[in-house]
Structure 1
Amino acid sequence: MSQALPVTYVTVMDVRRITPRTARVTFTGDGLPDIMAERPDQQMKLCLPRAGQRVPVLPRQDADDTYGMRWYEAYLAIPEDERPWMRGFTVRSYDRARNAMAVDFVLHGDDGPAARWGSAARPGDVLGMVGPSAAYARPLPASDWLLLAGDETALPAMATLLEALPDGTRALAYVEVADAAEEQDLAPAAGSEVRWVHRDRGGSLLRAVRAARLPGDGAGAAWLAGEAGAVRELRRHLVEERQLPKEAVEFSGYWRRRLTQDDAPTEEDLAWARERAGGSGA
């Protein structure tokens, strides 16, 4: 029988600034051991309290609500000034022995709720968490070599994927960050390579990938994530110019320039969602 989409509360254990613009927040919670899996790229939502709330207000969970649709309807029914902000994150790591889950917060400096909360987080703070769920897991396409590309918002997912690859995998990762101070120490599998792209030096992810010599012969695949517009351009380049099959390119738009996750999807967003689901679209 399918399990309901997990909804739980997590409490801050520790906060550490790992780069000038990235805070690594470690959480614990009674529900974590039952829902954390041994796989990379575990996506979930964190629910951030509104002003004046110590703990975010969340609806009760329905055990038969496998995909969380009824829960989400109840969430939307909460008055807007009480409804927690909900933002998507990737689990950076989970230490089962300590029951400790690390999550990286990118501190954009744009006064958004996630960056604002991450900048002020302290041990004892409480957030709600929705997921992660195996029902939404998207495995990497089968391939002889792999390209990964994303910005700093995609870095936690990319890091877990690189660390989980078998040694000897031919993989090349491009990561766009603000400057050299935002580079992180990663532990990719043997055979993988990470190249950093610095915006302060005029670098861009699209230009870097366009100029890239890809890992080799055989069937290739790609994993792309980050700002939605940049990811769309990267995907078009790989499918139309590099001739990768559409099904070999896994892609996600984590954020939209000039828009937040609270804004309604644009027509382009909807077309993109249909394409990810396997329908028609550019």
Structure 2
Amino acid sequence: MYARVTARQQLTPSLVRVVLSDGDLAGFTMPAATDAYVNVAIPPPDAPYDDVFDLAEVRERFAKDLWPARRRYTVRAWDADRKELTLDFVVHGDSGVAGPWAARVRPGDVLVFEGPGGGYLPDPAADWHLMVGDESALPAIAASLEILPAGTRALVRLVCDGPAHEVELRSEAEVDLLWLHRAGMPSDEELLVSALRTAAFPEGRVQAFVHGEAAEIREIRKHLLVDRGLARADMSCSPYWRREMTDEDWRQVKRDFVAAMETDVA
């Protein structure tokens, strides 16, 4: 599947919004999930194949170092009437693959992807909702808040690099929102879990969405399951990335890391 870039917007110093249309989007169908995602395929510079390519064919015909890099990105929005797909990319200079692509992309450029998939949707039967994460989790959290109806309660804790990196979050729900700002110190890793340890949780059953940096998410998950008594079935939790690791290195060890997380609450 592919689509063409129709707009690019710099939301914050490190967050770029890309709007896609045309291509194969007439056949795009969103799942019932606010963490819906697509797996994008970013070719290396000067790739010896067309912008619109078949991934299986590329893998069959070319050496591995010419294969596109695969990355997973949450769908920020899907306009079914206009057939427009919106993705938000975290950009940290020249680091990574998809970020630099989003930094330089222009209208008319092509993005090849597979999907969508997804699994999390705010449960209307929950008494309240907990949403915790960093920039990588913002699209899903923003999409989730937007569908919460009036009369719903949500406690949201987010970490970013400073006030300029905050984004507007819209919701009809009653939202207890706190932005936490990194200071470039080792203690940054404790910002989210410390904020949760001191937070006053509402009464009743909570449904939680907890996604972000691996070490931070591991500590938060342990706190919520062990100290707060949350049920695993009521938590969507995943370490999206890991500090001081490239995407490729993290993908190699993520399965073992997730397995090790289970030993924290065994």
Matched, 1:253 2:266: no
1:200 alignment partner AA: A
Residue in structure 1 matched with residue 193 of structure 2 by the alignment: 206
CA 1:27/1:196 → structure 2, altered by over 3 Å: closer, same or farther? same
Residue deviations 1:46-97 (CA, integer Å, cap 9, x gap)? 1111110361643359xxxxxxxxxxxx858852222101111011112233
Deviation at 1:185, TM superposition (A): 1.1
1:44 and 1:36 mapped to 2: Cα distance? Answer: 11
Deviation at 1:189, TM superposition (A): 2.6
1:12 and 1:153 mapped to 2: Cα distance? Answer: 21
Deviation at 1:187, TM superposition (A): 0.6
Q: In structure 2, the residue corresponding to 1:188 is in which secondary structure?
A: coil
Deviation at 1:100, TM superposition (A): 1.5
Matched, 1:138 2:131: no
Residue in structure 1 matched with residue 10 of structure 2 by the alignment: 17
2:46 alignment partner AA: G
Structure 2 unpaired stretches of 5+: none
Matched, 1:58 2:57: no
2:55 alignment partner AA: P
> Cα RMSD over matched residues?
2.6
Q: In structure 2, the residue corresponding to 1:184 is in which secondary structure?
A: coil
Q: TM-score, normalised by structure 2?
A: 0.86
Mapping 1:169-208, distance limit 5 Å: 169-200=152-183, 204-208=191-195
Matched, 1:221 2:207: yes
Deviation at 1:150, TM superposition (A): 0.2
Matched, 1:265 2:259: no
CA 1:268/1:281 → structure 2, altered by over 3 Å: closer, same or farther? farther
1:268 alignment partner AA: D
CA 1:154/1:77 → structure 2, altered by over 3 Å: closer, same or farther? farther
1:101 and 1:198 mapped to 2: Cα distance? Answer: 30
Q: In structure 2, the residue corresponding to 1:187 is in which secondary structure?
A: coil
- The one of 82, 91, 95 equivalent to 1:111 is 95
Matched, 1:239 2:225: yes
Size of the alignment, in residue pairs? 256
Would you say the 8 A contact 2:19–2:85 is kept in 1?
yes
Structure 1 unpaired stretches of 5+: 1-7, 62-73
1:76 and 1:238 mapped to 2: Cα distance? Answer: 45
CA 1:195/1:75 → structure 2, altered by over 3 Å: closer, same or farther? farther
Q: In structure 2, the residue corresponding to 1:115 is in which secondary structure?
A: helix
Deviation at 1:35, TM superposition (A): 2.2
Residue in structure 1 matched with residue 112 of structure 2 by the alignment: 128
Q: TM-score, normalised by structure 1?
A: 0.82
Q: In structure 2, the residue corresponding to 1:13 is in which secondary structure?
A: strand
Residue deviations 1:175-223 (CA, integer Å, cap 9, x gap)? 1110000111111232123221111397621211122112x11112211
Would you say the 8 A contact 1:57–1:82 is kept in 2?
no
Q: Percent identity?
A: 34
2:44 alignment partner AA: R
Deviation at 1:101, TM superposition (A): 1.1
Deviation at 1:280, TM superposition (A): 11
Matched, 1:157 2:140: yes
Residue in structure 2 matched with residue 48 of structure 1 by the alignment: 42
Residue in structure 1 matched with residue 70 of structure 2 by the alignment: 86
Residue in structure 2 matched with residue 3 of structure 1 by the alignment: none
Residue deviations 1:5-56 (CA, integer Å, cap 9, x gap)? xxx0111111110111111111113322322326422111111111103616
CA 1:56/1:257 → structure 2, altered by over 3 Å: closer, same or farther? farther
2:78 and 2:229 mapped to 1: Cα distance? Answer: 37
